[in-house]
Amino acid sequence: MRSRSGWIRFAVVVVLLLMLPVLISEYRMNLAITIMIYSVFALSYNLLFGQGGLLSFGHAAYFGFGAYACVILVKQLSLPLPLAIVLGGVAGCLLGLLFGIFVVRMRGVSFALLTLAFNQLIYVTAEKWRAVTGGEDGLAFVRPSFHMAGFKIDLYATINWYYFVLLVSLLCVGFLWYLTFTPLGRLNFCMRENEERAKFVGYNTYTARLAIYVISGFFAGIAGAMASSFQEFVSTTYINLDKATDVLMMTFIGGGGTFLGPIIGAFALTLINDLLSTWMERWAIVQGILFILLVLYAPNGLSGLYLTLRDRWSRRAAVETAT
């Protein structure tokens, strides 16, 4: 997107997103909000999965921790919602630091297993610590309006909430995009390709992995906080294994190899789930089969498949014009 056409495309998408509430119904707007929230979640996951080459089965811990933190802060301390959402991110970040200290020592299957163990630890804690989390019943609240310096912004109305989520999501996506150009972001790719070499060049890969893990926890926490504010409800379903594997599915199906892949995955799966679940109850099986086919034949997901096909097509076109 450093090219000019890339910026133009980006501007078109932003304008479209800004105009969306005029174009679509309120129901579709809710869908758009869900997609934006899951895009942030999937992008945070892809810092580990696609960019860092680490398969995590425990990213729901940070999503859920942020979600609970946000609801509890609003409910108990009546903090303003935007602040609570940022603090939800901070909560995810701190949990990421706590677990990351141990987790980032692992690679491959051990990494997957330890993240899973920590995820389940948070899950059972949320389930059993009823006094704080409400156990299986969860916690419900009403999304409060935002007061500042005499202004009042009604975040309860869907359209205002849409613009709020859009703003936060764009900031998150923008930062994560920027991160890929920073030395830390570059090092993340480098460690995926050849960690030994990164060490040899003199990088402290442990600290770098930890930093990436903490950043990833932060954005997962933000996404979780936005999700619980959106649903006005949080329960253990925010942390369970299904949530942890949902984000894996989205990221993988969209493709972890490109920056936009996870967004495509979040978009496609959320939309298809919504469209098909009403008249095709067994969409999940199709989703599973699609997942397996991609694992077998297109390990870089839909976006990777698109790039491969585009390359092949343009090469063929080049050959044809040459002859």
Residues that bind other proteins (CB under 8 A): 53, 55, 102, 105-106, 108-110, 112-114, 116-118, 120-121, 124-125, 128, 241, 245, 248, 252, 282, 284-285, 287-289, 291-292, 295-296, 299
Shortest distance, CB of residue 117 to other proteins, whole angstroms? 4
C-alpha–C-alpha distance, residues 232 and 142, integer Å: 6
C-alpha–C-alpha distance, residues 303 and 258, integer Å: 7
Shortest distance, CB of residue 66 to other proteins, whole angstroms? 20
Shortest distance, CB of residue 139 to other proteins, whole angstroms? 19
Closer residue to other proteins (CB): 24 or 113:
113
Closer residue to other proteins (CB): 11 or 295:
295
* Inter-helix orientation angle 301-322/261-279, to 10°: 110
C-alpha–C-alpha distance, residues 249 and 269, integer Å: 9
CA distances 305 to 91, 100, 269, 287, Å, are: 36, 32, 17, 17
Closer residue to other proteins (CB): 183 or 288:
288
Phi, psi at 27, each rounded to 5°: -60, -45
Shortest distance, CB of residue 174 to other proteins, whole angstroms? 29
Closer residue to other proteins (CB): 36 or 191:
191
C-alpha–C-alpha distance, residues 170 and 151, integer Å: 23
Which structure tokens are listed for 155? Answer: 């975040």
Measured over the CA atoms of residue 308, residue 309, residue 314 and residue 317, the dihedral's sign is positive
C-alpha–C-alpha distance, residues 115 and 55, integer Å: 9
Closer residue to other proteins (CB): 104 or 168:
104
Shortest distance, CB of residue 175 to other proteins, whole angstroms? 27
